[in-house]
Structure formats: C-alpha cells, structure tokens
Chain A
Amino acid sequence: DAGVTQSPTHLIKTRGQQVTLRCSPKSGHDTVSWYQQALGQGPQFIFQYYEEEERQRGNFPDRFSGHQFPNYSSELNVNALLLGDSALYLCASSYRDRPYNEQFFGPGTRLTVL
C-alpha cells in the first residue's frame, strides 16, 4: 500500500521565480492538504483540497495556490518566491468521511530560495 508521495525531494529557486510541487495521496484517500514547515517550527496549514475545490485555507497570501486533479493528486504553486518561502512543504492526505481530521503525511519537498 503506497503512502503519500511527493516530488521533487529537493528544489532550489531564486527570488521572484515560480515553483510547482506535486503530491499523490495514499491509496483510498481523496483529500489533500498542504503545510509549510519552517526550520525548527511546527507545520503551518496552507490549504486543503477536496473534490477539486479548495475548501479551507490558512493564513497564506494569494501567491500560494493549488490544484487537485480527478485522480486526487495535487499541486502546490508558489509565485514570486521570497527568501522566507524557504521551508519543507508537506502534503497530507485523508479520507473525507473520517471525522477526526486524521491526516497521513508525505516525506516533504525541501524548497530553498536564494
């Protein structure tokens, strides 16, 4: 049973560039959430996608956008990169009927902005 997978593992960009990160949910899951984890901090919720729609968003600017595909996989896009966007980006998947927000996390994509 494949868990949550993310690509790429590492990424280096320069300020002002745009980046796309990808996530495939755990088998049987239909909901994808994205989190940003700065060094030494806990993960911060960016948004969650269900049925190809964003259904909850955290306190992140519009530069952060996402998409969910019919096969439930998801992309996170960040435009106009800032140095402060350097972080580990975590994808988590869950099943919509689970009422207790139980989410399973992927290994993350390490983004470095120079």
Chain B
Amino acid sequence: GNSVTQMEGPVTLSEEAFLTINCTYTATGYPSLFWYVQYPGEGLQLLLKATKADDKGSNKGFEATYRKETTSFHLEKGSVQVSDSAVYFCALGSGYALNFGKGTSLLVTP
C-alpha cells in the first residue's frame, strides 16, 4: 500500500543552520505529496505541497521537490530560526486520505 518513511528525530540545529529532513514514499501511480508542520499544542498546518513529478513546493523559506526517480520529497531550508522548532510530517495523498509519516521533531537553539 501507499506509505511514507521519514527520518527519525529529534533533529537539533543551531539558528541559521541548514535543514534537511528526508522523506521517501512508496505508492502506486503519482500521488500528491505534502509537508505539514505541527507546533507545540496546535493542530497540523500545511507547509507546502507538490502534485506531480519535478514540482517544487515552497513556503516560508522551506522547499521540497517531488523526485519520481528516487521516490523522495525531502524538506529543506537554508537558514532555520528558533521559531521553526516543531514537528514536521511528510504525507502522501492516497485516494481521499492522507498517509502520514511518523514525524520528525526539530529543535532550533539560539
């Protein structure tokens, strides 16, 4: 079945460091791919999405490119801030559902 695998956390970075969170997927067909972010005590917020191969989603300095050849959708940001501390979820559209990874916790220290 359709599934996503994302890197285990927690990830701890210093402010202004470069961020990569790996996400790979298994799917039939060409699903849409998403990154959601969950700040402490809050619900999920859509961060970015890509709907077809080679699409690049971007928002708030975060980027991810839909790579069909490597079945990946890695999240990147060039310079993280303390306010980026949160849990990040990679997700895949499967029919009408979203299949989520287990989440990667990011802590950014000053």
Contact = CB atoms under 8 A, between A and B. Distances in A.
A43 B51 contact: no
A43 to B, nearest CB: 5
Chain B interface helix/strand/loop/mixed = strand
A104 B95 CA distance: 16
Interface residues of B, number: 22
Interface residues of A, number: 27
Interface in A67-114: 90, 92, 99-108
Nearest to B42: A107
B96 A43 contact: no
A103 B51 contact: no
A42 interface: yes
A48 interface: yes
Interface of A: 4, 31, 33, 35, 40-45, 48, 50, 55-56, 58, 90, 92, 99-108
Given A42-B102, A43-B44, A105-B44, 8 more contacts: A4-B43, A33-B96, A42-B101, A56-B95, A58-B97, A90-B43, A92-B98, A100-B49
